[in-house]
Structure 1
Amino acid sequence: MNAQRTQLADGRWHFQHGPMDIIIGASGSPASVEMAHADAWKRFTGILDELVQELAVLRRPVRGACPLRGPIARRMWHACQPYQSRFITPMAAVAGAVAQELVACYAKSGVTRAWINNGGDIALHLAPSQSVRIGLYANLARLDLDEIRDGIRTDGQFEVASVLPVRGVATSGWRGRSFSLGIADSVTVLARTASEADAAATIIANAVDVADARIVRRPACELKDDTDLGSRPVTVDVPPLEPALVEQALRAGLRRAHELRAAGLIWSAALVCQNQITTTGNTALGLLENRRIDMQVGSVFA
């Protein structure tokens, strides 16, 4: 199927091609924004074929020197490279890396801000004095048809201003569209770039874990033939756990998040598991339900 695009009623664009499902918003001078949208669409139409050409290598663990050629593929590899002592493949950063490639089309005079939301992994362009407000939806399990019809109420919100060293937001968790080794409902990471946020969210979500026989795990290859995780056991069901176990799992993830923050790999993180939440302490996450938001992230979009 060829790449498709649709302009939404509020002026945002929806780009779709294979697994890429992207919502784009931008503001600024109409002529500049229109030109940026045209550039983004032109770039988007070739991305899937570009990645498929190197897919076999992208599914291999990150080791040694980068063997990839394409700019997005290389960005994926470099975002994951800090974690090569653990098992990670460049695919852990694919959604964020694609969003980051497209947001570059909006970094031009006349575009005051733009966001590329690739299934919950977001790249931002913010001119000086600009900001975006992002809503966090933490747990897909409680989403029902009534809420979808009446409007999703976020669990919290945070603002990313141009003065912050943050241009990427990503979320990972066992309920998302990608596999996880941990039990977090969602881990949302703010970082310098979308690809770096994507890789870090994967690593932190994997660390939110606890040993308990009630947690159901299955080899990834039994769930998806072409997975890059091979036979590694991934989480498929987490029953209600005692609060102490949930707290233990969150503490393990928070330790990993603090390690990444100390290494300069992330700006902040919010970790959610079974109605408990913890943060690195420098996130602007708050319960501001009545404020207008520009986009949402969390389990429902990850």
Structure 2
Amino acid sequence: MSAVAARLADGRLHLQHGPIDLVIEAFGASSEVERAYGQAVDRFADILPTLVRELPVLRRPVGDAYPLLQGPVARRMAEAVWPHRAVFVTPMAAVAGAVADEMLQALVAGRTLDKAYVNDGGDIALHLTPGHALRAGLFVSALDGVARLAHGQPSRGIATSGRGGRSFSRGIADSATVLARTAAAADAAATLIANAVDCDHPAIERRPARDLDPDSDLGDLAVTVSVGPLPEAAVAGALDRGAVEARRLRNRGLIDGAALSLRGQWRLVVESQLPFVSTEGHGPEWRDLLSTTSRFSGEAGTLPAKARHSLQLDRVVE
């Protein structure tokens, strides 16, 4: 299957190749935007073939030796997971974010753009210039919150992990959304934080990852298959464990903030200046945002399930 490039009805660029499904939008002078889209299309054709050539190494757990990888996306993946090598992690934990980062770099190279984003199934790389911002909605079952990213804030990557996404999770989080300096860093951290949202309870069913997918990089490790009814105390305890991990990573400077959800409960691990905002109690502006961002569903073909409980970008600048 070859790479496919198309323009959506509203002008955004859609790129798809195998499991990689990107929605890209750039803002600025029309001539600059068109050149940026052309650069993204040219770069995209080689992304998946280069990754496939290095899959055996990318699926191995990171240990004491830094992974020797050749492709630029693979190197981004290794860089993102290397700080987490004390626990089980493979470079695949950062693949979606690393693709988004690489494609954003290709998009903006040499161009004069106000802002831009590359959304890889909910893992998003951002480009922001002074005076410009993007808002993102946190979706689990509905619009549960908003993150506003501006040029003066450090975060340029957003990622979400959790049970029910397009990758296996060892935890039970409905979602773990992370802000970090890059999308790859956010992707790796979201994976580990979502794994930490966990508890022991008979309502939780787990199976070895290899039984569900013989090619899984998780091998014989148990992953969550289903979660039945849980008492409130178990939900709270699981979220607290995830929050401890998120604070640890924030204290190490590896993330800027995180928002964790499970069964309607939330934990925010953010500095006061970071932009997570609850939608509860807000008025029509949030309903307008929901109607704007919900247009992502279906317009790019079959949207990955992960995107439905992830961050979606709107086109509103405050």
Q: What's the TM-score, normalizing by structure 1?
A: 0.92
Match of 1:292 among 265, 275, 289: 289
Asked if the contact 2:66–2:82 (Cα under 8 Å) also holds between the matched residues in 1, the reply is no
- Is the aligned partner of 1:216 residue 2:213? no
State how 1:81-160 maps to structure 2 within 5 Å: 81-107=82-108, 108-139=110-141, 153-160=142-149
**C-alpha separation in 2, matches of 1:3 and 1:36:** 18
Aligned residue pair count:
289
3-state DSSP of counterpart to 1:195: helix
**C-alpha separation in 1, matches of 2:66 and 2:149:** 34
**C-alpha separation in 1, matches of 2:225 and 2:307:** 14
Which residue in the other structure is 1:266 paired with?
255
Asked if the contact 2:101–2:125 (Cα under 8 Å) also holds between the matched residues in 1, the reply is yes
Asked if the contact 2:121–2:307 (Cα under 8 Å) also holds between the matched residues in 1, the reply is no
3-state DSSP of counterpart to 1:156: strand
Asked if the contact 1:4–1:17 (Cα under 8 Å) also holds between the matched residues in 2, the reply is yes
**C-alpha separation in 1, matches of 2:171 and 2:182:** 24
After superposition, what is the alpha-carbon deviation per residue over 1:7-60, rounded to whole angstroms, capped at 9, x for unaligned? Answer: 011110111000001101111011111111111111111100000010000000
Q: Considering only aligned residues, what root-mean-square deviation do their CA atoms show, in Å? A: 1.6
- Is the aligned partner of 1:58 residue 2:58? yes
Deviation, structure 1 residue 132: 0.3
After superposition, what is the alpha-carbon deviation per residue over 1:117-159, rounded to whole angstroms, capped at 9, x for unaligned? Answer: 00000000111111100011124xxxxxxxxxxxxx5111110
Which residue in the other structure is 1:257 paired with?
246
Asked if the contact 1:95–1:195 (Cα under 8 Å) also holds between the matched residues in 2, the reply is yes
Structure 2 residue runs without a partner (length 5+): 297-305, 311-318
Which residue in the other structure is 2:183 paired with?
194
Per mean C-alpha deviation after superposition, the further-off stretch among 20-29 and 280-289 is 280-289
Deviation, structure 1 residue 284: 2.0
Deviation, structure 1 residue 291: 5.0
3-state DSSP of counterpart to 2:69: coil
Moved over 4 A (4+): 293-299
**C-alpha separation in 2, matches of 1:182 and 1:168:** 22
Over 3 Å counting, the alpha-carbon distance change for 1:277 and 1:266 in structure 2 is: same
- Percent identity, please: 48
State how 1:240-251 maps to structure 2 within 5 Å: 240-251=229-240
3-state DSSP of counterpart to 2:289: coil
**C-alpha separation in 2, matches of 1:242 and 1:70:** 46
* Letter aligned with residue 21 of structure 2: D
**C-alpha separation in 2, matches of 1:88 and 1:268:** 20
Asked if the contact 2:138–2:309 (Cα under 8 Å) also holds between the matched residues in 1, the reply is no
Which residue in the other structure is 1:77 paired with?
78
Over 3 Å counting, the alpha-carbon distance change for 1:54 and 1:237 in structure 2 is: same
Deviation, structure 1 residue 295: 5.2
Over 3 Å counting, the alpha-carbon distance change for 1:299 and 1:15 in structure 2 is: closer
Asked if the contact 1:240–1:274 (Cα under 8 Å) also holds between the matched residues in 2, the reply is no
**C-alpha separation in 1, matches of 2:52 and 2:133:** 35
Which residue in the other structure is 1:2 paired with?
2
Over 3 Å counting, the alpha-carbon distance change for 1:295 and 1:50 in structure 2 is: farther
Asked if the contact 1:173–1:299 (Cα under 8 Å) also holds between the matched residues in 2, the reply is no
Which residue in the other structure is 1:149 paired with?
none
**C-alpha separation in 1, matches of 2:246 and 2:11:** 36
**C-alpha separation in 2, matches of 1:225 and 1:118:** 24
* Letter aligned with residue 73 of structure 2: I
**C-alpha separation in 1, matches of 2:176 and 2:24:** 22
Asked if the contact 1:25–1:114 (Cα under 8 Å) also holds between the matched residues in 2, the reply is yes
After superposition, what is the alpha-carbon deviation per residue over 1:150-170, rounded to whole angstroms, capped at 9, x for unaligned? Answer: xxx511111000100010000
Structure 1 residue runs without a partner (length 5+): 140-152
3-state DSSP of counterpart to 2:62: coil
3-state DSSP of counterpart to 1:183: coil
* Letter aligned with residue 75 of structure 2: R
* Letter aligned with residue 165 of structure 2: G
3-state DSSP of counterpart to 2:104: helix
Match of 2:217 among 224, 228, 249: 228
Match of 1:175 among 164, 170, 173: 164
Deviation, structure 1 residue 299: 5.8
3-state DSSP of counterpart to 2:138: strand
**C-alpha separation in 2, matches of 1:180 and 1:71:** 26
